[in-house]
């Protein structure tokens, strides 16, 4: 059971570089989410997709873009990385209100 799979697991970028974080789920969930977690802090929602074909901004969307490629995949793009985007990024998917959300293992991103 793969669940939610994120790639890569680790990444170091230079300021100004771009990259895309990939996320795929095999649970046929409608909703998918991208969060960031900074040291000693909770989760902050960057973007979410309530269903295929829709995306909405979360709490901290600036500097990020997303694509819901199909029902399985939801990618997060940093167009011009900044040191303030150094964080751990989590992708999650949800089957709805009663099921909660399931998380990937995270991508540890460092921007130097």
Partner 1 sequence: GNSVTQMEGPVTLSEEAFLTINCTYTATGYPSLFWYVQYPGEGLQLLLKATKADDKGSNKGFEATYRKETTSFHLEKGSVQVSDSAVYFCALMNMNSNYQLIWGAGTKLIIKP
Q: How far is the CB of 5 from partner 1 (least distance, A)?
A: 11
Cβ distance 109 to 86 under 8 Å?
A: yes
Q: How far is the CB of 7 from partner 1 (least distance, A)?
A: 14
Q: How far is the CB of 80 from partner 1 (least distance, A)?
A: 27
Please, which residue, 19 or 45, has the CB nearer to partner 1? Answer: 45
Please, which residue, 14 or 53, has the CB nearer to partner 1? Answer: 53
Please, which residue, 3 or 83, has the CB nearer to partner 1? Answer: 3
Q: How far is the CB of 35 from partner 1 (least distance, A)?
A: 9
Structure tokens at 40: 């000693």
Name 11's bridge partners: 109
The residues of the shown chain that bind partner 1, judged by CB under 8 A, are 31, 33, 41-43, 45, 48, 50, 56, 58, 90, 92, 94, 96-106
């Amino acid at each position: 059971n793969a669940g939610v799979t994120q790639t890569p697991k680790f990444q170091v970028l230079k300021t100004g570089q771009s990259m895309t974080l990939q996320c795929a789920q095999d649970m046929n969930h409608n909703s998918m989410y991208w969060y960031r977690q900074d040291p000693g802090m909770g989760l902050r929602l960057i973007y979410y997709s309530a269903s295929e074909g829709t995306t909405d901004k979360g709490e901290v969307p600036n500097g990020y873009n997303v694509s819901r490629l199909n029902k399985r995949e939801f990618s997060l793009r940093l167009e011009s990385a900044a040191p303030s985007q150094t964080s751990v990024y989590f992708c999650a998917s949800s089957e709805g209100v009663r099921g909660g959300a399931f998380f990937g293992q995270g991508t540890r991103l460092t921007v130097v």
